Chains A and B, each alone.
Chain A
Amino acid sequence: MANIAMQRIRREFKEVVRSDEQSIKLELQEDNVLSLTGYITGPEKTPYEGGRFHVQITIPETYPFNPPIVKFTTKLWHPNISSQTGVICLDILKDQWAAAMTLRIVLLSLQALLSAAEPDDPQDAVVANQYKTKHSLFQQTARFWAQTFAGAPGPLNPDFQKKIDKFLEVAPRADRHTAIQQLSNFDWNIDKAIEDVYKSD
């Protein structure tokens, strides 16, 4: 049965290559048809604009009867995507999957998810809470993450930079990723972020 999966992926792959869309891209990982990398660019007028996000796509043996397993490998700050693991909460990747959907549709849906989050059905509760209660801080944080991890253009928020440097001074064993994750989790309140690091030590 893996036969159907392989045949379909080959056909879909051609479709994406031929379609020549700029905002999404699909690549094979080491000639293994059942494991692919997708790229999407952040949609315009969102904090993700100009960023390039990688997703890892694993095709199950039972594809297309079951959905592909997709997760972000680029870190990003979004209510429906885990800021720690990149796991995505999207209905078409779960029970709303239909065999007529394609990897191209999945990538376009992820792009749409970046423009329109669903904070009421969150994957990352901390991000969703910030999205709902401190929306402008959420946008600044998402922008900062896109610039830091996905290469989005523009000057980095100097206030955030300062706080990261200060965090690293106080907790020298932490790396920059941890600092950003920790500060974002605590709405950039440096005291709480540091306190939490020492609590979990």
Chain B
Amino acid sequence: MDSALEIASDDDRRSCWVCFATDEDDLEASWVEPCKCKGTTKWVHQQCLQRWIDEKQRVNHTQRVNCPQCNTEYLIFFPKFGPFVYVLDLVDRLLYRVSPLLTAAVVLGSVYWSALTYGGITILLVSGQNEGVRIIEQADPIFLSVTLPTIPVMLIVIKMVPWDNYLLKLWWRHASRLPDMRGLCSSLRGELPGNTFVEPPETVNRLLDRTLLNDSYSATRVFVSALMLPAVGALVGRTCFSGVRTPLQRTLLGCFSFIMVKGVFKIYLRRKQVLRQLKRKVLNYGDDINEDEELALYGEDED
């Protein structure tokens, strides 16, 4: 090293290897020789070295830092806390560790409590106010605390069985083989694959899968419709089956008929959607779609 730095190698005129200032530049600064280095990198300002260490520990503030020149690990001394501050520090660190666990516990607890409440309300809805209260009061509290929260869980699990999709696929597969069926669903006549279309079956399957995939994996839809079921069932039961004696039977009938009617409509809609996909057509550039053609393409559902 040359002139300016060479002078720094004797101890009389120290030079900081971070800011390159010498004794003359700053009389106040405190100096340290933290490693085995000799010569120009022997001395460094306490402040400068701490800033360098901060920079190295930016990612992980407990990481050890070595001298970049001689690889000696810097020994960092922290003054001891008094007993009071020591306890405060301990509590501080404990809280830091414990709070994620507590947060998780609160969240889980809230979910459990919501599920429990939902279960209770469902019992009241399904079996009628008086009967419901009686059931809940007579049952063992521990038994209730386990069974009530499983009610919404079971509803969701059951809802996740895509029975209507199986039916739709089954219908598609067998419709063309059953000539009698066509008479029954006359509105769909002529639209069955293998009859008017000569569509390769993969296309049908692909479109079918794509249409069905969309709703069977919509988590929010499964969630909402599963949890709405008891309320809707009770409503349907009360309006349509008022002749039935016990509220429980009424509600069960309501649920069942609601699911059936909804399923039929859904299967019908999905089938129409797939058929529409099969009949779509890309236009030639510059062609305007004329009304007749539009009718021919999309207008078949005006039954």
Q: Which residues in A have some Cβ–Cβ distance to B below 8 Å?
A: 4, 7-8, 11-12, 14-15, 18-19, 62, 64-66, 96, 98-100
CB within 8 Å of A: which B34-58 residues: 40-41, 48, 51-52, 55
Cβ A18 vs Cβ B2 within 8 A: yes
Please tell me if the beta carbons of A64 and B2 are within 8 angstroms of each other in the complex. Answer: no
8 nearest CB pairs, A to B? A98-B68, A100-B17, A65-B55, A11-B20, A99-B18, A19-B2, A100-B41, A4-B19
Indicate if the CB atoms of A8 and B19 lie closer than 8 Å. yes
Q: A99-B17, A100-B17, A100-B68 are in contact. List 6 more A-B contacts (CB 8 A).
A: A8-B20, A15-B4, A18-B4, A65-B52, A99-B18, A99-B52
- Chain A nearest CB from B228 CB (Å) reads 57
**CB-defined contacts of B156 to chain A, threshold 8 Å:** none
The CA-CA distance from A155 to B24 in the complex, in Å, is: 54
* A18 to B7 Cα, complex, angstroms: 14
Interface centre among A4, A19, A64, A100 (most CB of B within 10 A): A100
Within 8 Å by CB of B4, from A14, A66, A98, lies: A14
A66 close to B55 (CB less than 8 A): yes
Any A CB within 8 A of the CB of B186: no
Q: Can you give 18 contacting A-B residue pairs, CB < 8 Å?
A: A7-B20, A7-B21, A8-B20, A11-B20, A14-B4, A15-B3, A15-B4, A19-B2, A19-B3, A65-B18, A65-B52, A65-B55, A66-B55, A99-B17, A99-B18, A99-B52, A100-B17, A100-B41
Give the shortest distance, in Å, between B1 (CB) and chain A (any CB): 8
A66 to B58, CA, bound (A): 12
- A20's nearest neighbour on chain B, judged by CB, is B2
Q: What's the nearest-Cβ distance from chain B to residue A177, in Å? A: 39
Considering the complex, which residues of chain B in the window 142-175 have a beta carbon less than 8 Å from any beta carbon of chain A? none
Q: In the assembled complex, how far is the CB of residue B4 from the closest CB belonging to chain A, in whole angstroms? A: 5
For B1-36 the 0/1 string (1 means CB < 8 A from A) is: 011110000000000011111000000000000000
Residues of B contacting A4 in the complex (Cβ-Cβ under 8 angstroms): 18-19, 48
Cβ contact within 8 Å between B5 and A99: no
Q: Tell me whether B69 is interfacial, beta carbon within 8 Å.
A: yes
Taking CB atoms, residues of chain A closer than 8 Å to B18 are 4, 64-65, 99-100
B103 to chain A, nearest CB (A): 36
Q: Give the CA-CA distance A171 to B302 in the complex, in Å.
A: 63
CB distance from A162 to the nearest CB of B (A): 48
Residue of A14, A18, A19, A65 most packed against chain B (CB within 10 A): A65
